[in-house]
Amino acid sequence: MGLYCAWRWFVHASVRARWVAAAVLIALLASAIPAPAEAQTWQPRMWFFQGGWAEQHTRTWTVGVAWPWRSAWLWAGGAWSGYWEAAIGRWSTDGTDGRDRAWVTQFGVTPVFRYQKDRSPWFFEAGVGVTFIAPIYRNPRKRFSTTFNFNEQLAVGRHFGGQGEHQLSLRVQHVSNGGIRHPNPGEDFVQLRYTRAF
């Protein structure tokens, strides 16, 4: 519930409040980045594939890799950890100017917090990152005004396998420019992700 409230606050907060929140988040994440002596461990440890949908027959397919943080914190009866993810994806939506379908390419980087109760295979995630979309996304009812956008996501998922190497999660993702420029209709996706640890 707390993660959902934080996400809703971020979505509706002013641009200034978002920048302050982002600065605080970056400061918190700094401790999770490996020191130079540990740079050889700074390599992807997971890969993922996800597919999702939004309004106006919009579909998305994404692949990416993730780097788990070296730090974890015990709080509220469970472990708080996280990872950096880098992803590239394609969106397909209803076309404009007489085209049947329109396609855009998305590239994003997101720090993701994860909460997992002790000995539970279930986990909850929340992340806020940046994403670049080219060309500018538009369909007959929506038009973004910027290539640069923010990516906010919430997820619930479960580990599978003898070592917990398989993960399946249901995610809600909001993409918009945070009010930097208008129009800023944003797009909301529901996505299913499969993750495999190396």
- Yes or no: say if 161 and 175 are a contact pair by the CB < 8 Å rule: no
Q: What is the pLDDT of residue 10?
A: 59
pLDDT in tens, 43-101: 899 999 999 999 878 999 999 999 999 888 888 888 999 999 999 999 999 887 767 78
Q: What is the pLDDT of residue 140?
A: 87
Q: Which residues 6+ apart lie within 8 Å of 73 measured at CB?
A: 79, 80, 81
Please tell me the pTM assigned to this model: 0.78
Task: Look up tokens 């509220």; give the residue.
Answer: 76
Q: For residues 144 and 79, what is the distance between their CA atoms, to the nearest angstrom?
A: 38
Q: Which helix (H) or strand (E) element contains residue 59?
A: strand 59-68
Q: Using only C-alpha atoms, what is the Rg of the chain?
A: 17
Q: Is the pLDDT of residue 146 over 70?
A: yes
Q: Which residues 6+ apart lie within 8 Å of 75 measured at CB?
A: none
3-state secondary structure of 11: helix
Q: Is the pLDDT of residue 189 over 90?
A: yes
**What backbone torsions phi and psi does residue 164 show, to the nearest 5 degrees?**
70, 25
DSSP letters spanning 63-101: EEEEEE-S--EEETTEEEEEEEEEEEEEEEEE-STT-SE
